[in-house]
Amino acid sequence: MWWRGRTVTAKRDRLTGAGAQLVTEVTINYGSSLAGLLIPMVGSPVVVAMRQLVMAVAVLPFYRPKFVTFTWARLWPALLLGVVLAVMNLTFYESVARLGLGVAATIEFLGPFAVALAASRRFLDFVCAAAAAGGVVLLTWSDGTLDPFGIALALTAAAAWAGYILLTRRVATQLPGLEGITIASLVSLVLLVPVALVTVDYSKLNWGVIGLLVAVGVLSSAFPYTLDTFILRRITPRLYAIITSFGPVIAAIFGVLVLGESLLLQQQIAIVVVCVAAGAAIATQREQPLSDIERTARAIP
């Protein structure tokens, strides 16, 4: 019957969308692991600036802001979003250099998780939040080898990611389409490029390094950004968020495979605890629609 065919098509689309999102999670974290290789050579500002440059190149041909129609009241949230974006990316990559990719990504994920639970009054959410907090304590409770400043940087990245999500909601209501994130990307790029030019060790730059920098931008920003539209036409925001919650585990795997990082057993358990707590809390939330600009949030950090 015709409705059976429609059901089969919907299931196939959902599986395709979920599989595509899993691919983007892999590319994002693989890109972050490549960034971990580059940071000791060229520094975090250079890596982040290149990410923003690639992002701007990917976005501008399709979403060029119409500045003549802007007022200050509509424009300032997008400008602030660009500042938050720069802080978020820079502190995250600095924390990766100090803590390792798996630890840094897990701590940073507390930002969007906190936003998801901020208005909740459910007992289950309090339990999940406590479990996630316990996981992070277990993650950072080591033999003294973890850098306290690195932990502070990762927490700053988490707070910036939370601020990014909240700002995107406001920007999405004031600017059409994805003009807001385009402006934010440009602001972030303007802030980061001077720092990158001052701090970069030019003797370390060669075509191989430049190629890796471009690869980081493509894998962590341009590719997942362009694929998000395809994904979110096929899966629900809840499923999208659940798959995203496994990001720290994927990051930890690439940290081991690409960066040669090693995690204590307690740290491995902690990362799993945080991801399971987040996944359980999000999976039981009531379905809410995402704006276009919020849907790109995962592709930006």
Q: How much is the average pLDDT of 95-112?
A: 91
Window from 20-34, 47-61, 64-78, 204-218 with minimum mean pLDDT = 64-78
pLDDT at 201 > cutoff 80? yes
Closest among 110, 108, 145 to 131, alpha carbons compared: 110
Q: pLDDT digits over 109-150, tens only?
A: 888 888 877 767 788 888 888 888 888 888 887 655 678 899
d(CA 116, CA 125): 10
- 62 contacts 222 by C-beta, under 8 angstroms: no
For Cα atoms 181, 14, 172, give the angle at the middle one, nearest 5 degrees. 20
pTM of this structure: 0.83
Task: Please report where in the chains the tokens 């790109």 appear, as a residue.
Answer: 296
pLDDT at 289 > cutoff 60? no
Quote the tokens at residue 210: 């430049």
Task: Please report where in the chains the tokens 């520094």 appear, as a residue.
Answer: 43
Better pLDDT: 175 or 255: 255
166 CB-near residues (< 8 Å, 6+ apart): 115
For Cα atoms 7, 9, 15, give the angle at the middle one, nearest 5 degrees. 105
Radius of gyration of the chain (CA): 19
Window from 77-86, 114-123, 210-219 with minimum mean pLDDT = 114-123
The residues spanned by each domain of the chain are 14-299
Better pLDDT: 289 or 242: 242
Confidence of residue 295 (pLDDT cuts 50, 70, 90): very low
Query: Which region holds residue 287: left if phi is over 0, alpha if psi is between -120 and 50, else beta?
Result: beta
d(CA 140, CA 160): 20
